[in-house]
Chains A and B, each alone.
Chain A
Amino acid sequence: MTHAIKIFSATVFLIFALLGTASAQQNLSETFKKHFNETVQNVKASDNPDEQRDLLNTSFDKMLGAVDRIDESANLTEEEREQLVLFRDQIDEKKSELNGLDGFDEIQDDELIDFSDYSQQEIEQANRTLTISLTSALLIVLILLLL
């Protein structure tokens, strides 16, 4: 009987592990949203504009790095690559505006919190999202990159 229970438990464990893998393949855009939410909360918790600016720049850089890693590592379809380019452009534009590049005026120190809210809301609009399926291994790499 103990042996049967062990086999049953191992089977259940294996099935749940497989389920976890399937779920991980679907959570790319949520991963970015959760990461940037932490950034925005850290910006709001700080009262030092230099630190706020640094937090935002670091976050944008991490997301751009993660996008590059996906581009290099994942076997993307043309449609998926287009989505990724759009997402990269969106982050690039925010970074340029933060730092006053590409024709933007630099975001002033007293506007950094509002700008972080704006950037987050732009990422969380009701348009389309990244629907790229990644392996759980690559998703874990991306999560580590965003830490």
Chain B
Amino acid sequence: MNHLLKTTLFCTLALLLGGCSSRSLLHNSVAGQHSGTDYRLIFYIHGDGDYLYHSPDGQPIQADEHALNKAFEAARDASTGDVTIFHRREKRSFLGLFPRNTSRMYQFTGGEKVREISYRGNDSASGFMDEESRLFNDVTDSIPGEKSPVIFLYFGHEIPQQPETRYHRSYSDREFSTEIFTEEIRTFLPPGKSRFNLIALSTCSNGTPEMASKLKPIAHTLLASPQNLHLSHLDVGALRLLEDSTGSDSASVSIADSIAQDSFRRLSEEVRTAVTLSVYQLDKLSTDLETLLDSTENYRSENRLNHGRDNIDCADQLNLSGLAIHRGVKSFYQPAQFGAHQSKNTHSGWGCKPTLSK
């Protein structure tokens, strides 16, 4: 019995000491650190919330775990690239007292996992992805003047347009918004780069004039859903095209197109809700984006918008005649099989918030 008590005390002490550090190195390998950095992929998978959905035969699936598996596949395929994956998970603690490092950062180089770090949220952090930004900058080697393509992929719920709390279930006081997102992902750019080649948002309702306008200074191409996106998220297998890519901006557009096509094809077969995906070449939008943004802002000032509801097609709300809203935008759209908009057969590629009455 004495032996049992001693073992219990030892284990408890080990857990307590382990719980003191907000980061723990779980895996570190030098075996895979031989390939050059032809490109960088950064995945941010949000799992600190309700991400439960069900397969057609009723099996429960956690969307963030599902997205993590897709990210792992992309990382293993990236034989000439560097991949960083953040999986932000719900705060948990041992016996309700000692915080555990439930979130994970994975780094892959040359298709092999070279590092895995567990971490947890910090109560005193103010930014939405403060912990990940610090971790990334602490452990990632920056190469001065690096010009390799960088792609940022975000998996989660809709990023709110206006500052809102309660996005992280565990840190419900932290605000999140389009502007906060834009400011924070800048910190993931290598010192030599001012813009991402592609930002892919696997979320609902973020293919909006506001999001495109905010991201334009820091991204060449945006892939997002103007309205609905099922929790099974984007398919990112087309990222392997980077292996043979020239790294040009047009190559990033092709990759965004392929991700959108693959995802659209699967979702069109699997789901009965609307499927909407758009690829925005942000440099080509220029004055049309500004005019579109003005229209949405005018509309917002004259109407009370319902920010909690799903987006509608901007073309159903605003007078867009004369605007080249399709220039620089490639849309993939299938209407819902049921519901009020089932007979709507075209889509502008832009999402807007409905008014309170709709």
Residue pair A126, B231 in contact (C-beta under 8 Å): yes
Residue pair B156, A126 in contact (C-beta under 8 Å): yes
Residue pair B273, A125 in contact (C-beta under 8 Å): yes
Residue pair A114, B205 in contact (C-beta under 8 Å): no
Residue pair A29, B50 in contact (C-beta under 8 Å): yes
Near A by CB (< 8 A), chain B positions 226-240 give 228-231, 233
Residue pair B273, A118 in contact (C-beta under 8 Å): yes
Residue pair B336, A118 in contact (C-beta under 8 Å): yes
Complex Cα gap A22–B160 (Å): 27
Residues of B within 8 A of A104 (CB): 340
Near B by CB (< 8 A), chain A positions 90-134 give 93, 97, 104, 107, 111, 114-115, 117-118, 120-122, 124-131
A30 on the B face (CB < 8 A):
yes
A-B contacts counted at CB < 8 A amount to 104
A82 on the B face (CB < 8 A):
yes
Name the residue of chain A whose CB is nearest to the CB of B272.
A118
Given contacts A82-B308, A126-B158, A127-B310, contact A121 B273 (CB under 8 A): yes
Residues of A within 8 A of B273 (CB): 118, 121-122, 125
Residue among A15, A34, A120, A127 with the most chain B CB within 10 A?
Answer: A127
Complex Cα gap A38–B57 (Å): 10
Near B by CB (< 8 A), chain A positions 1-54 give 1, 12, 15-16, 18-19, 22, 26, 29-30, 33-34, 37-38, 40-41
A83 on the B face (CB < 8 A):
yes
Residue pair B339, A117 in contact (C-beta under 8 Å): no
Given contacts A12-B95, A82-B308, A114-B337, contact A127 B158 (CB under 8 A): yes
Per-residue A-contact encoding for B158-184, CB less than 8 Å = 1, 0 else: 101000001001001000000000000
- Contact of A107 (CB < 8 Å), options: B95, B172, B338: B338
Residue pair B338, A124 in contact (C-beta under 8 Å): no
- Contact of A121 (CB < 8 Å), options: B95, B156, B271: B271
Given contacts A114-B337, A118-B272, contact A125 B56 (CB under 8 A): no
Given contacts A15-B96, A37-B60, A129-B157, contact A124 B230 (CB under 8 A): yes
Q: How far is the CB of A117 from chain B (nearest CB, A)?
A: 5
Residues of A within 8 A of B272 (CB): 114, 117-118, 121
Given contacts A1-B1, A86-B308, A127-B158, contact A33 B54 (CB under 8 A): yes
Complex Cα gap A34–B272 (Å): 19
Residues of A within 8 A of B285 (CB): none
Q: How far is the CB of A46 from chain B (nearest CB, A)?
A: 14
Residue pair B309, A86 in contact (C-beta under 8 Å): yes
Residue pair B310, A40 in contact (C-beta under 8 Å): no
Residues of B within 8 A of A26 (CB): 169
Name the residue of chain A whose CB is nearest to the CB of B233.
A126
Residue pair B229, A126 in contact (C-beta under 8 Å): yes
Residues of A within 8 A of B56 (CB): 117
Residues of B within 8 A of A114 (CB): 272, 337-338
Complex Cα gap A48–B309 (Å): 34
B41 on the A face (CB < 8 A):
no
- Contact of A118 (CB < 8 Å), options: B60, B96, B338: B338
Residue pair B338, A97 in contact (C-beta under 8 Å): yes
- What 7 additional pairs, Cβ within 8 angstroms, besides A121-B271, A125-B273, A126-B233? A34-B52, A86-B308, A107-B338, A125-B228, A127-B205, A129-B50, A131-B172
Give 24 A-B contacts (CB < 8 Å), ordered by A residue.
A1-B1, A16-B95, A22-B96, A26-B169, A33-B52, A33-B54, A86-B308, A86-B309, A97-B339, A117-B272, A118-B336, A118-B337, A124-B52, A125-B229, A126-B156, A126-B157, A126-B158, A126-B230, A126-B231, A127-B157, A127-B203, A127-B205, A128-B157, A130-B50
Q: B residues within 8 Å of A by Cβ?
A: 1, 49-50, 52-54, 56-58, 60, 63, 95-97, 156-158, 160, 166, 169, 172, 202-205, 228-231, 233, 271-273, 308-310, 336-340
